[in-house]
């Protein structure tokens, strides 16, 4: 799964990196975070009326039929092998795909003979922002009537692990190659068979990883020190 990630690139950098044509977010509201947690409102790239848009969206997908926002806490990730069988994801996979920019992400490794888990940080070797494959939805509170504000939410798709991730965890976020971005974001593209071929682990050589401090375990810790290399426990 992907339960924490890093988002520190400015809207300007994201606009250039992802070829965004319209920036809808307020740059002052797009706060950098070294420890993004569920429910955070983060930059997301999607297509609107044929062009790419960068805006802020809440992490934790809430289907339109949900009774309240709390279901989003269980839908921060969507397994690639369930996108076409889950009522929560099927329609979004067909119509509302997005890219979730990230400067890296964390994963926790179970330690043999211990209840502790070792956190690891993953990023692209070239330092460029990662393009997570995601889905988005629009929800409004059914108890509040038609005038209720519309809330946009997203989830990050996960796949089988690549060779780099396998020793750490049995899932990893879907990372989209730049050559697939047009196909993925095209809202008119309903070819789920072709889209399904994109739901594969990234090449192992694309990423690098190192162990980091357990400071990242606590959401209150949020600074560049979280990315510093830590010594592995020898026990």
The pLDDT tens digits of the residues spanning 174-224 come to 999 999 999 999 999 999 999 999 999 999 899 999 999 999 999 999 999
Decide: helix, strand or coil at residue 138: strand
pTM: 0.96
Distance CA 68, CA 81 (A): 26
The reply to whether 66 falls in a domain is: yes
The pLDDT tens digits of the residues spanning 44-57 come to 999 999 999 999 99
Burial grade of 84 (CB within 10 A; 0-12, 13-18, 19 or more): middle
The reply to whether 63 falls in a domain is: yes
The pLDDT tens digits of the residues spanning 119-171 come to 999 999 999 999 999 999 999 888 877 777 899 999 999 999 999 999 999 99
Active site residues: 2, 107
What pLDDT is stored for residue 31 in this prediction?
87
The total number of structural domains in the chain stands at 1
The reply to whether 23 falls in a domain is: yes
Distance CA 28, CA 40 (A): 15
Q: Which sign, positive or negative, has the C-alpha torsion 157, 159, 164, 166?
A: positive
The reply to whether 235 falls in a domain is: no
Q: Which domain holds residue 141?
A: 5-227
Q: Is residue 233 pLDDT above 70, yes or no?
A: no
What pLDDT is stored for residue 168 in this prediction?
96
**Which pair of tokens denotes residue 71?**
């279901």
The reply to whether 232 falls in a domain is: no
What pLDDT is stored for residue 145 in this prediction?
74
The reply to whether 233 falls in a domain is: no
CATH code at position 73: 3.90.1680.10
Q: Which sign, positive or negative, has the C-alpha torsion 140, 143, 144, 147?
A: positive
The pLDDT tens digits of the residues spanning 95-106 come to 999 999 999 999
> Which H helix or E strand runs over 192?
helix 192-196
């Amino acid at each position: 799964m992907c339960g924490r990630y890093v988002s520190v690139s400015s809207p300007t950098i994201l606009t250039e990196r992802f070829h965004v044509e319209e920036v809808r977010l307020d740059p002052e509201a797009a706060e950098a975070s070294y420890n993004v947690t569920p429910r955070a409102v983060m930059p997301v790239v999607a297509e609107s009326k044929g062009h790419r848009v960068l805006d802020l969206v809440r992490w934790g997908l809430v289907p339109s039929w949900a009774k309240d926002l709390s279901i989003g806490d269980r839908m921060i990730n969507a397994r690639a092998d369930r996108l076409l069988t889950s009522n929560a994801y099927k329609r979004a996979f067909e119509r509302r795909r997005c890219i979730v920019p990230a400067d890296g992400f964390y994963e926790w490794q179970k330690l043999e003979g211990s209840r502790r888990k070792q956190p690891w940080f993953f990023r692209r070797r070239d330092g460029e922002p990662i393009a997570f494959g995601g889905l988005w939805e629009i929800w409004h509170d059914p108890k509040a009537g038609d005038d209720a504000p519309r809330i946009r939410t997203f989830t990050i798709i996960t796949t089988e692990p690549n060779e780099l991730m396998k020793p750490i965890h049995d899932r990893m976020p879907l990372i989209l190659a730049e050559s697939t971005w047009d196909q993925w974001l095209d809202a008119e593209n309903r070819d789920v068979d072709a889209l399904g071929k994109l739901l594969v682990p990234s090449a192992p050589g694309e990423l690098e990883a190192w162990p980091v401090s357990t400071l990242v375990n606590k959401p209150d810790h949020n600074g560049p020190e979280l990315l510093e290399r830590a010594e592995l426990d020898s026990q």
